Amino acid sequence: MRIVGLDRFLKGEWLDKTMEIASNESDISLIRETLEEYLKQEIPGDITRRKARDKLMAIWVNIPEELEWIKSEAIILSNEVFNQERLLLHWTMMFAVYPIFRDISTIIGAITDFQDDVTLSLVEKRIYEIWGERSTVKYAVQKIMSSMVDWQVLERRGSGKFKKKSPIKIENTSLKLLYLKAYLSVNNKDYIEFFKANNIKSVFPFEIQYKMEDFALSDEFALVKMGSDVAISLA
pLDDT digit string, tens, across residues 129-159: 999 999 999 999 999 999 999 999 999 998 8
The whole-angstrom separation of Cα 56 and Cα 15 is 7
Give mean pLDDT, residues 10-15.
98
Please report how many Cα atoms fall inside a 13 Å half-sphere around the Cα of residue 131, on the Cβ side: 27
Q: What is the pLDDT of residue 168?
A: 97
Judge whether residue 1 has pLDDT over 80.
Answer: no
Strand, coil or helix: 184: helix
Q: What is the pLDDT of residue 227?
A: 80
pTM of structure: 0.95
Let me know the angle formed at the C-alpha of 234 by 230 and 235, rounded to the nearest 5 degrees: 100
Q: What is the pLDDT of residue 66?
A: 95
The 3 state secondary structure assigned to 83-113 is HHHHHHHHHHHHHHHCHHHHHHHHHHHHHHC
Within 8 A by CB and 6+ apart from 71, the residues are 22, 60, 63, 93
Kindly list the distances between the CA atom of residue 231 and the CA atoms of 38, 143, 199, 211, in Å, as whole numbers in the listed order: 45, 36, 14, 12
Q: Do residues 91 and 170 touch, judged by C-beta distance below 8 A? A: no
pLDDT digit string, tens, across residues 45-66: 999 999 999 999 999 999 999 9
